[in-house]
Amino acid sequence: MGFTLDRERLVETMVEQAEIGATENGGLHRLALSDDDKAIRDWFDEQLTDLGLDVRVDVFGNMFARREGADPDADPLLVGSHLDSQPYGGIYDGALGVVAAIEFVRELEARDVTTERPVEIVNWTNEEGSRFQPAMQGSGVWAGALDIEEEYAKTDEDGVTLEEELERIGYKGDVPAEPQYDYDAYLELHIEQGPFLEENGKDVGVVTGVVGFTWGATTYYGEADHSGSTPMQYRSDALVAAADVITQVRRIPSTLGDRTVGTVGYVDAEPNSINIVPGEVTFTWGFRDPTREVIDEAKERALHEIEAAAEREGVDYEWEERMDVDPVHFAERCTDAVADAADELGYDAMEVFSGAGHDATYANHVCDTAMVFAVSEDGKSHTEEEYTSWDDCYAAANTYARAALTLAGRAD
């Protein structure tokens, strides 16, 4: 029995959401809990209300709506993603997942399909972690991985708290921010944000898990000496020590695995003056891999290098852990549903591991989970140049909808 989405309507819905918080360059500036976020939440509410669904909002702003199935007491399927964006992001990151979920529900309505289980659709609060940290904040609180009071108190760079903003835009709901039902499964569509699908000429990705990651921050304390009159052997150059580590963070992954990545994204040197030896340098470092042991090994090697560099340069140091998240392996029955859907629809699919964290990471704490990846052109994301062709949007959304139907079960 066929079940495919209306391509024209998918494109139309995507174009519609892309107007809210649109940038000049065809991207999105739709920060969590901003007025544009309020507008897209209102839009989301409207889409579902028009389908006759009741929308509920929890105390952390996560929005849910239910379409009943044959058995109202059956554990529901949860579908959805996030609608907030990066400061200058693309129109697909998160939004494509929510639109695909909306279109799935619309298609059920259009074809008058009765599912076995209820289907719930969700829009998570603050997945990007750009304006308020951390990322995946809404799903994290909901899954019990983050403490709601701590997260309410988080501030943006202007010192405004998350709770204030949630109230300001009118999305601090009344439902407790925790699973209201015993969900059977969670399925999320997202753009790959990486180059593998395109490089391998695939139409869609069957995501089998999410990498774990570890982030740390290190500060080296040296001596801010005069760069002219201080001989090399007298120096304690905090930036040289940091450079040694940056080089090793680049190298460590290549000794570990083909999916291991290591990054130094942030660096700050003091006094940062052309003719003074850097006396204090802070930088962040992190590794990601599908395997816990590999992450631990990478971290251990990095800490070893951090210490060695300090000794070599004669500087002091301190470091702190910023974040540590276990890898996630999705349940086979869910990933199978996705693989089978792609196969039935005649799409060329491949298994991939997600290198980026998603709401699905936290949902996996609560119920069986899987993801579908859409092709990212050039693997670009977190930029207005982020792009997925309508063909690829449709291929992924179709695969997603069919897999969702499998998990929800047909009662007719």
Binding site for a copy of itself (CB under 8 A): 192-196, 211, 213, 215, 224-232, 234, 237, 239-240, 242-244, 246-247, 250, 253-254, 258-269, 272-278, 284, 286, 288, 322, 354-357, 379-383
Say if residue 145 is exposed, middle or buried (CB neighbours under 10 Å; 0-12, 13-18, 19+): middle
User: Minimum Å distance from CB 81 to a copy of itself?
Assistant: 16
- With respect to a copy of itself, which residue has the nearer C-beta, 70 or 276? 276
Nearest Cα to 328, choosing from 295, 285, 286? Answer: 295
- With respect to a copy of itself, which residue has the nearer C-beta, 78 or 246? 246
Cβ(44)–Cβ(84) below 8 Å: no
Cβ(204)–Cβ(197) below 8 Å: yes
User: Minimum Å distance from CB 265 to a copy of itself?
Assistant: 5
- With respect to a copy of itself, which residue has the nearer C-beta, 59 or 211? 211
User: Minimum Å distance from CB 396 to a copy of itself?
Assistant: 16
- With respect to a copy of itself, which residue has the nearer C-beta, 193 or 219? 193
Name every residue whose Cβ is closer than 8 Å to that of residue 86 and which is 6 or more positions away in sequence.
28, 93, 128, 130, 382, 383
Name every residue whose Cβ is closer than 8 Å to that of residue 98 and which is 6 or more positions away in sequence.
17, 44, 80, 81, 82, 83, 121, 123
Q: For residues 233 and 61, give the distance between their C-alpha atoms in angstroms, rounded to a whole number.
A: 57
* Residue 328, strand partner residues: 210
Name every residue whose Cβ is closer than 8 Å to that of residue 397 and which is 6 or more positions away in sequence.
5, 10, 96, 99, 100, 103, 104, 189, 374
Angle between helices 332-344 and 390-408 (to 10 degrees): 130
Q: For residues 44 and 17, give the distance between their C-alpha atoms in angstroms, rounded to a whole number.
A: 9
Q: Return the structure tokens found at 13.
A: 């819905």
- With respect to a copy of itself, which residue has the nearer C-beta, 182 or 266? 266
User: Minimum Å distance from CB 64 to a copy of itself?
Assistant: 27
- With respect to a copy of itself, which residue has the nearer C-beta, 102 or 396? 396
- With respect to a copy of itself, which residue has the nearer C-beta, 254 or 389? 254
Q: For residues 152 and 164, give the distance between their C-alpha atoms in angstroms, rounded to a whole number.
A: 8
- With respect to a copy of itself, which residue has the nearer C-beta, 184 or 192? 192
User: Minimum Å distance from CB 311 to a copy of itself?
Assistant: 15
CA distances from 358 to 74, 90, 127, 135 (A): 26, 16, 7, 8
User: Minimum Å distance from CB 82 to a copy of itself?
Assistant: 16
- With respect to a copy of itself, which residue has the nearer C-beta, 52 or 231? 231
User: Minimum Å distance from CB 239 to a copy of itself?
Assistant: 6
| DSSP 8-state class, residue 238 | H
Name every residue whose Cβ is closer than 8 Å to that of residue 9 and which is 6 or more positions away in sequence.
103, 106
Residue 137 sits at φ, ψ, to 5 deg, of: -70, -45
